[in-house]
Amino acid sequence: MASEQGRPSTNPDPDETRRRLTSEVAEVETAIELVASGPASSVTLSGLKFGEELARHFHAEAQSRGLRLEPIPWPEDAGCDLIVRRIDE
Q: Taking the model in full, what pTM does it have?
A: 0.82
pLDDT band for position 1 (50/70/90)? very low
Buried b (16+ CB within 10 A) or exposed e, 21-42: eeebeebbeebbeebbeeeeee
pLDDT band for position 61 (50/70/90)? very high
User: Measured between alpha carbons, how far is 4 from 78 in angstroms, rounded to an integer?
Assistant: 25
Mean pLDDT for 38-64 is 95
Domain boundaries, the chain: 52-89
